[in-house]
Amino acid sequence: MTYQVLSPDNAHARALDVFANIEGIQLTAGSFKRDQVLSMLAETDAIILRSATTVDAELLNAAPKLKVIARAGVGVDNVDLDVATARGIIVMNTPDGNTIATAEHTFGLMLALARHIPQAYGSMQQGKWERKSFMGVELRGKTLGIVGFGRIGRAVAKRALAFEMTVVAYDPYIPADVAADLGVELVDLDTLYSRADFIALHSLVTDETRYMVNAESIAKMKAGVRIVNAARGLLINDDDLAAAIKSGYVAGAAVDVYAEEPPPDNHPLVGLAGVIHTPHLAASTDDAQISVSVEAAQLVVDALLKGEYKNVVNPAALTIG
Ligand code: MLT
């Protein structure tokens, strides 16, 4: 029997190498549009997924033989987990491989925000020399509030401590001693808001965290706070943050992720003075993409050929057969 594996989102070439000498699996890989993906699913046993393809109910229903989805990355918000689970389709992710890339990007955004680096670059590109317009602030001595103290949050904390920042974190699922061992104080959210000069979001989107940055929470933050989001766009109420930036209460924001990607032309934050952007690049390093793609490929091989599953995000699917 030969299993059919589809990799529709341009997985790193190294991931494709994983299948080179494996018998019993046929790989179809490329960068496919949704219509193409839909037309390829009838015989597909497994999908290796990045973030471009949304595996919703329509896609799942077009894939009657689908057994496994391996996400080359952390977030599985582009998979309809309810439908997958009900069908017994096992969804796995690769939570480790892009931790450092994401932490470094967050840090890059924080420095760029503090020193207006993108705006200064843009100004020089226009032939200007505007030293006075781009007065910045140092990170040293400032307090960073990290919301979500998982792998990425902790990696950001280590870097912030090296920059002589004070770090506080909020995460209801992490014991205080894990944070204390790293030199980080675990605090409740209101305390974090009241103390942080910079806030970095590293939470998943849940009912508790969706739109957590909103008019009400911003009112609890320090005036002049700067906010960095390289996690998920849905953590922020964009209209409320835009209003707070326009009023000057929030000094700036750095945004890598958007509720809808790419963001629509009328997105309230895109193009707003005081806001800097990247197009969901946090995990986009060669190192990270090799790591998560190869791991996702191996997850598929082990699942299909050995019945071994790792990093399962919907364990209930294992009981449906
Ligand atoms: C992730 O969830 O792993 C990151 O946001 C990167 C990505 O979506 O590709």
Q: Is 58 a catalytic residue?
A: no
For 29-78, write each residue's pLDDT tens digit: 999 999 999 999 999 999 999 999 999 999 999 999 999 999 999 999 99
> 199 and 151, same structural domain?
yes
> 131 and 23, same structural domain?
no
> 308 and 246, same structural domain?
no
Give the pLDDT mean for 150-172.
98
- Could you tell me if the CB of 118 is within 6 A of ligand 1? no
Residue 202 sits in a domain whose CATH number is 3.40.50.720
> 246 and 269, same structural domain?
yes
> 218 and 170, same structural domain?
yes
Of 232, 267, 277, 295, catalytic: 232
List C-alpha distances in Å: 201 to 76, 103, 172, 288: 17, 11, 14, 20
pLDDT at 321: 66
- Could you tell me if the CB of 98 is within 6 A of ligand 1? yes
Q: Are 200 and 146 in contact (CB under 8 A)?
A: yes
> 243 and 229, same structural domain?
yes
Residue 283 alpha carbon, nearest atom of ligand 1? 6
pLDDT at 320: 87
Instruction: Report the separation in Å between the CA atom of 318 and the middle of ligand 1, taken as the mean of its atom positions.
Output: 24
Bond into 262 cis (ω within 30)? yes
The residue written with tokens 């006075």 in the block is 132
Nearest CA to ligand 1 atom 5: 75
Q: Is 232 a catalytic residue?
A: yes
Q: What is the mean pLDDT of the chain?
A: 97
For 272-302, write each residue's pLDDT tens digit: 999 999 999 999 999 999 999 999 999 999 9
Residue 166's domain comprises 99-277
> 197 and 92, same structural domain?
no
- The Cα 197–Cα 183 span in angstroms is 18
Instruction: Report the separation in Å between the CA atom of 99 and the middle of ligand 1, taken as the mean of its atom positions.
Output: 10
> 60 and 20, same structural domain?
yes
Instruction: Report the separation in Å between the CA atom of 187 and the middle of ligand 1, taken as the mean of its atom positions.
Output: 27
> 126 and 83, same structural domain?
no
> 157 and 19, same structural domain?
no
How many domains does the chain divide into? 2
The structure's pTM equals 0.94
Q: Which of 53, 71, 74, 256 to mutate to test the pocket of ligand 1 (most atoms within 8 A of CB)?
A: 74
Pairing of strands 198-201, 225-229: parallel
List C-alpha distances in Å: 18 to 62, 179, 195, 252, 313: 26, 37, 48, 43, 23
> 133 and 103, same structural domain?
yes
> 121 and 31, same structural domain?
no
Q: Is 277 a catalytic residue?
A: no
